[in-house]
Structure 1
Amino acid sequence: DPKKKHFDAYRGVDLFKPNLKELREGLKIDIDSGDIESIRSAVSHLQESQSIRSVMVTLSEAGVYLNEKADGKTNEVLVPAHLRNIADVSGAGDTVISVASLCRALGASSWLTAALSNLAGGLVCEFVGVVPVNRQRLMTEALELLTDSGLKTG
């Protein structure tokens, strides 16, 4: 979760994950979480100005937006948030970037990366303080998500 003081320090990274507040502050622009066009435009500007391949913006109750540029193609994913009893958002951003990094290392698709990261980030918000992701609960909800989306095979 980059802070505005160091927002430009991530030039050339493969995956950059600000939350919406950090994106607003870092680019010094106003963006509404429900305005996907403004988010898309801001992310595109960030990618071009800092040579960043992928930007994942956490949008709180609006979910996660991921934009990846590779081989002259753009892949864009918007994953809605899951309904949760939010107790504390501490550690959610770290959880999202951790799961996204693991997904990237495994070569997961953009959609799966955004969906699993969003799921894990939401799970830790149900507890007070910084907590690890409950592996069994993440697996159970991930399998439900894959089944619901028609991606689970056998």
Structure 2
Amino acid sequence: MKSIEEVFESFKDKTVLVVGDVMIDYYLHGQVSRISPEAPVPVLKLGKQEKRLGGAANVAMNIRALGATPILCSVVGDDADGAAFEQLLEYEKMPNKGIIRSQNRITTTKMRVMSGLQHLLRVDNEDVHPLVDLDQKSLLHHIKNLLEECDLVIFEDYDKGTINPEVIEETIKLAREKNIPIAVDPKRRNFTQYQGVSIFKVNIADLKDGLGIEFDALEESQLEDAADKLKSNVEAENYLITLSKRGIFYHSKSNSGKLSSHPRQIAEVLGAGDTVISIAGLCLTLGLPLEFIAELANLGGGIVCEMPGAVPIDKEILLQEAKENSILKKYL
């Protein structure tokens, strides 16, 4: 790659299979001006209502925003919300050929009640039990067929039951047979099941939860010890540990380090991890150095935190910041 523009242009040639837990994010926006006489709770005067693609579907939105082609592979309920999910995919002009409608579970929804930027309440409606055998077989059948047209697999695991050890093991096996890189954003239930992947990205909270450890990420030695424990439990070619407002830690056999975050006006951190794994995965398909991957993902994760709710990255904003970044300039 000769320029950051060439990197971004190359994203257009990539197709990404996103396997994981999808959901609908409902938002109820309004204003609070009084307390209810019935109970000591705020009364929201309802204004705008909206639905957004969430969970692994937000990763797909990020992939598309970066110029690549996403294919979601997941299971939703055979219910009204499942139909709404497919309508959202159609509205966003994304394929639904990897989506399975199941009578054995409901579609995951998260309803957020907002007054301005103030988050008042969240209501979750979900099944988190593992897939029944029939749905698992259907999911693996879709994955096997869809891999034929993909350059990358991203596992986006929210612990909602779509992903289990059998799905992980079989998908990794199929992808490795085709030399397709695999990027992972894990949660606790399957944390150590992702063996032999190309990049394992985790945030501090999920790292502590997944390994059952406590440490101070501000202490360099404790962070290194946590990274060592991660490496001993999960085999991967590359590791990324996002440190929230403190930046990102990266490690491979040949390269490791810590990059600071960039000054931001933070609105909400929701969805930042989806952006990080999307950028990191696409960069991985281009064979870019790990420090470059970590810094571009670091930039993108910060940018989306300046927007309320889970929103995909703005490619042009990311490109402009990347062109001025001294770390990225070292490689182009």
| Same-fold status (TM-score > 0.5) | yes
Specify the SS of the correspondent of 2:320.
helix
Question: Using the alignment, how far apart are the partners of 2:217 and 2:278 within structure 1?
Answer: 23
Distance 1:94 1:150, change over 3 A: closer
Measured after TM superposition, the shift of residue 145 of structure 1 is 0.5
Structure number with the higher strand fraction is 2
Q: Which runs of 5+ in 2 are unaligned?
A: 1-184
Q: Does 1:98 align with 2:282?
A: no
Matches within 5 A, 1:58-97: 58-69=242-253, 74-97=254-277
Q: Which residue of 1 aligns with 2:230?
A: 46
Structure number with the higher helix fraction is 1
- Kindly provide the amino acid, as one letter, of the partner of residue 303 in structure 2: L
Could you tell which deviates more after superposition, 116-125 or 41-50? Answer: 41-50
Distance 1:102 1:39, change over 3 A: same
Q: Which residue of 2 aligns with 1:113?
A: 293
8 A Cα contact 1:116 1:142, kept in partner: yes
Measured after TM superposition, the shift of residue 45 of structure 1 is 2.2
Deviation sequence 1:2-37 (CA, Å, 0-9, x none):
221221121221111110011111111111121122
Measured after TM superposition, the shift of residue 52 of structure 1 is 1.8
Q: Does 1:136 align with 2:320?
A: no
Question: Using the alignment, how far apart are the partners of 2:255 and 2:195 within structure 1?
Answer: 20
Q: Which residue of 1 aligns with 2:214?
A: 30
Distance 1:150 1:134, change over 3 A: closer
Specify the SS of the correspondent of 1:42.
helix
8 A Cα contact 1:47 1:53, kept in partner: no
Q: Which runs of 5+ in 1 are unaligned?
A: none
Could you tell which deviates more after superposition, 36-45 or 130-139? Answer: 36-45
Runs of 4+ in 1 over 6 A off after TM superposition: none
Q: Does 1:55 align with 2:239?
A: yes
Question: Using the alignment, how far apart are the partners of 2:204 and 2:197 within structure 1?
Answer: 19
Aligned length: 148
Match of 1:8 among 174, 192, 217: 192
CA RMSD, Structure 1 to Structure 2 (Å): 1.7
Percent identity of the aligned residues? 39
Measured after TM superposition, the shift of residue 87 of structure 1 is 0.7
Q: TM-score under structure 2 normalisation?
A: 0.43
Measured after TM superposition, the shift of residue 85 of structure 1 is 0.7
Specify the SS of the correspondent of 2:225.
helix
